[in-house]
Amino acid sequence: MLSAIDDYYRRYNANVHRGVYRIAAEATDRYEAARRAAAELVGADPRGTVFTRNATEAINLVAYSWARHELAPGDEIVLTVLEHHSNIVPWQLVCAERGAKLRYLPLREDGTVALDALDELLASGRVRLVAVTHVSNVLGTILPVAEIARRARAAGALTLVDGAQAVPHMPVDVAAIGADFYVWTGHKALGPTGIGLLHATPELLERMPPFLGGGHMIKRVELDRSTFNDPPWKFEAGTSPIAEAIGLHAAIDYLRALDLARVREHERELTRYALARLAELPFVHVPGPPADERAGVVSFTLDGVHPHDVAEICDRHAVCVRAGHHCAQPLMRELGVTATTRASFHVYNDASDVDRLCEALVAAHELFTR
């Protein structure tokens, strides 16, 4: 990934869809090849694949360009309590502006979603959108997004899936899921920061007004009006994230060579091992589902030790974990805590990392409770 970005800046550093000279044409070709690679990775249509700054901006794009123009007073959007703030705050803003309402799916005790509650909400006939995470960034819960999309569609609602925590960890097929919008981000997929993706059908994007105005997203500009480019370029105003897209393409090639099905199995086995090891420590509490129903994310609390202190002790043992509310404050309140410590796994982790984590947790507990 780093070499691909360096190669761009050294050999063909030019803007895309602008110049006709050789290096500009090469930059454009590489940029559009990255779009096709990203769409192919998740079984989406490249004509409906929009590059954004991150997954947050992709969700905001849908909130601004679809929801602000489609929602009426009394309409409803359904979320889950599991959501990252990026899949809550944009909908709060648009609902406040349009007079619509947010509804939330409750969680079971094991951190999974109760689908019968979704049916009850959809029965009102007022739900226009169901926006859910594919994988919880706190509990690792894998939601049945294809079934959620099917039920939403049957009730006349659209579906948005936040796939930021899913795409680099398991096979994803956007077409099979049936979501109207699917978003993810490059830096969680072993790629660079500064690039995200929105996948939708070209027909749906065609009906949506632009998100931002400027160069590249137009066909013709007059003094009093403009006509806009076709999707996906209609939503990519200004200079594109060219180096980021090229770097992401290299990361995608790496992920495809690994085989995401094997990545998923590796993480499942490692998560199963981690849950078993943590269960041996009576002062550790781990919310969420079993390994088969979660991705490689394990959040936990320690008796008598604040999560930030846990993270500090882990760092002293060369174990990197995150502590805090993880941009999921409603979920923290649902769990009855203010924060957790979170360990997450990928292809570069193995059982020895879990063992070192457990050693650090024992050390933290002994230090703060002696």
269 in the same domain as 238 = no
25 with 18: CB under 8 angstroms? no
The last residue of a domain, from among 209, 233, 258: 258
286 in the same domain as 193 = no
Question: Rounded to an integer, what distance in angstroms lies between the CA atom of residue 30 and that of residue 39?
Answer: 14
pLDDT for position 76:
99
Output the DSSP codes for 68-112: HHH--TT-EEEEETT--GGGTHHHHHHHHHHT-EEEEE-B-TTS-
The last residue of a domain, from among 258, 291, 309: 258
**Size of the chain, expressed as the number of residues it contains:** 370
pLDDT for position 12:
94
Q: What is the model's pTM?
A: 0.96
229 in the same domain as 107 = yes
Q: Domain of 251: which CATH number?
A: 3.40.640.10
pLDDT for position 167:
97
- Name the domain count of the chain: 2
Q: Domain of 284: which CATH number?
A: 3.90.1150.10
41 in the same domain as 147 = yes
269 in the same domain as 248 = no
Question: Rounded to an integer, what distance in angstroms lies between the CA atom of residue 260 and that of residue 267?
Answer: 10
Residues of the chain with pLDDT under 70: none
239 in the same domain as 293 = no
The catalytic position among 95, 314, 320, 327 is 327
41 in the same domain as 190 = yes
350 in the same domain as 242 = no
Q: Note down the domain range covering 325.
A: 260-369
Q: Count CA atoms within 13 Å of residue 54 on its CB side.
A: 9
And the tokens for 213? 């105005």
250 in the same domain as 106 = yes
Question: Rounded to an integer, what distance in angstroms lies between the CA atom of residue 46 and that of residue 26?
Answer: 19
The last residue of a domain, from among 218, 241, 258: 258
341 in the same domain as 315 = yes
pLDDT for position 370:
78
Looking at the DSSP bridge assignments, the partners of residue 228 are: 218
Respond yes or no: is residue 327 known to be catalytic.
yes
310 in the same domain as 247 = no
239 in the same domain as 217 = yes
